[in-house]
Amino acid sequence: MRVERRNIINADRDAVWKIVSDPDTYPSFMTNLERWESANERPAGVGARYFVHWKIGSVPVGGLIEVVEFDDLRDLAWVGITGVNLRGRIRLRDAGEGQTKVTFRLSYQAPGGIWGYIADRVAVRQVGRTTADTLKRLKVLVESRG
């Protein structure tokens, strides 16, 4: 399943990137985040690994992720190494004077054949709400610092 939500933030890309590129700030704006811990010694960037869990349904879902793209002021992407198959991306683009368009994508696939497919379908609404709410909280966080 792929879930995508977008938002316009009234701040320039530098201000948004400053928060998005610092994983230590994720717990302050990511909704339903139960765990966000560094898993290796690398600084934020390609190769940095984190343990990440979102509360989806009854239990924390996620696992070990690795940042695979860290393109200054543009894109930050990660893939899941353990847990459900997962890809995530936060994408920043200009949206006019002093504004930034932020896109948050999560693609995931549970194992287990037909049951995995059903679980994906059941979870998609909650994942959608989680990503949308995450962007709203990011907007509040960035604009309050501006």
Partner 1 sequence: MPFKTGIRSAMATVGDVIGWAREQIVSRVPKADLDQRDPDYIRDQLPVTWLLASLYFRADVQHMDRIPAEGPVLLVGNHSGGNVPPDTFVFSLAFCSYFGVERPFYQLAHNLVVSAPPLGWLRKFGTVAANHENAQLALESGAALLVYPGGDYEVFRPSWERHKVDFDGRMGYVRLARDTGVPIVPVASVGGQESALFLNRGQWLAKLLMADKLLRLKSIPISLALPWGLNISDLAGHIPLPTKIAIEVQEPIDVDGDDQAVHDKVMASLQGGVDRLAAQRRFPVIG
Chain contacts with partner 1 (rule: CB under 8 A): 34-35, 53, 57-64, 82-83, 110-113, 115-116, 118-120, 122
Q: How far is the CB of 20 from partner 1 (least distance, A)?
A: 24
To the nearest whole angstrom, how small is the minimum distance from the Cβ of residue 25 to partner 1? Answer: 19
**CB-wise, 63 or 128, nearer to partner 1?**
63
Q: How far is the CB of 108 from partner 1 (least distance, A)?
A: 11
C-beta of 75 vs 120, nearer to partner 1: 120
How near is the Cβ of 39 to partner 1 at its closest, in Å? 10
Q: Which is nearer to partner 1, 127 or 138 (CB)?
A: 127
Nearer to partner 1 (CB atom), residue 85 or residue 143: 85
Q: Distance between CA atoms of 119 and 103, rounded to whole angstroms?
A: 24
